[in-house]
Amino acid sequence: MKKFSLSTIILVITALACGSGGNPSIPPTPQNSAFNSNETAYGFYPSPPEVTLESVFATFKGINEHGDFVLVQQNTDWESFAKGVDGESKARTDIINQLTLASQNNLDHVFVIDALNGLNRREFANLPAGWDANFANPNIRAAHKNFALWVVRNFHPRYLGIASEINTYMDAHPEDAQNFISLYNEIYALVKAEAPETQIFVTFQWDDLNNMFPQPEEGNLKKFDTKWEQIEAFEPNLDIWAISTYPYFVFPSGEEIPAAYYSPLLSRTSKLVAVAEGGFSSETFAQFTNTPEDQVAYLNAIHNQLGPRLAFWVNTLLSDLNIDSYAKEMGNSEDATMLGNFAYIGFQNADGSPKPVLEVWDSFQGK
């Protein structure tokens, strides 16, 4: 499964929203964070339905009304962070701008630093020319470590992810898996030395972890054969077990999600768990024939199966995407088609009108 990465477009319009002059200051961390309670925190990736400033502002305001935090998931700025923790770069400014808008809307944040390509988790994103594409590369290791330390020192996140959907990469490059695990353990030790309260994790693509997309390298594994060894390879330095899930690629309807599809997480670990991104489409598009009722069934499946053990829960979109608006910026019909596969997982339509699922989501938060 491939997923179109919205981060580049989001950063462009967020920079416009915050202004591009000078070096922005680090915004304050919310004083009354939802993470201070023992309740599940709810959030979204800050993807506006349209590529406009008005849409950006409305999205952050809407997340405040229906959630507690934004997911800040950015690719490593390789050349800048290879030089050290401190410095100036457009990537750093873009991240500060996102956090500024979050702070203005009294939203906390979950960070995931991402070395991999959002279009294809089997490869790195934006490596400089001539860099060896593996986690043994000293430049890659230094840059990713410095990125993590920069985030911790400037934004003090409660939750810090060191990779997104890492099991997909581990499947494709088993020879490099241990190199990443060793890098993760190094970052874990460095961060804990400075900020022992920070909860550190990587995310696992749950549908792939359960072999729902059989690949030749999977050998004799069958669907629902969970590759637990890929999660447990990070223990004991895994503070939370976090997954991503888009089960509409697997199950034709939300009602067809098995009653024990997610719950095995709870019997495999005593730690808190999280849904770090995910969703279920509500519209007919391409090969999908989904309905708003399917979204409700998906939400109830997560809630009923993982419930009180959820530390945080991200639905990737608050509002559906206006594909035409994004297609103009992307300039690539193939990417626009890819985006359409994920465009209808919001809890609101692109015009801001609510879907039935929004009331269910709000009810989980007691709103």
Q: Which domains does the chain have, with CATH numbers?
A: 7-17+36-364 (3.20.20.80)
- 267 burial type by CB count under 10 A (0-12 exposed, 13-18 middle, 19+ buried): exposed
Distance of alpha carbon 137 from alpha carbon 86, whole angstroms: 21
Distance of alpha carbon 101 from alpha carbon 103, whole angstroms: 5
- 250 burial type by CB count under 10 A (0-12 exposed, 13-18 middle, 19+ buried): middle
- 299 burial type by CB count under 10 A (0-12 exposed, 13-18 middle, 19+ buried): buried
Q: Which helix (H) or strand (E) holds 265?
A: helix 264-268
For residue 22, what pLDDT is reported? 57
- Collapsing DSSP states into helix, strand and coil, what is residue 129? coil
Which two tokens mark 83?
Answer: 């030089």
- Collapsing DSSP states into helix, strand and coil, what is residue 142? helix
pLDDT, averaged in runs of 10, over the chain (367 residues): 47 56 74 88 94 90 97 95 95 90 94 91 94 98 98 97 97 96 98 98 97 75 93 98 97 96 97 97 87 97 96 97 80 70 94 97 93
Q: What percent of the chain is helix, strand and coil (3-state, nearest 5)?
A: 45, 15, 40
Record the pTM.
0.93
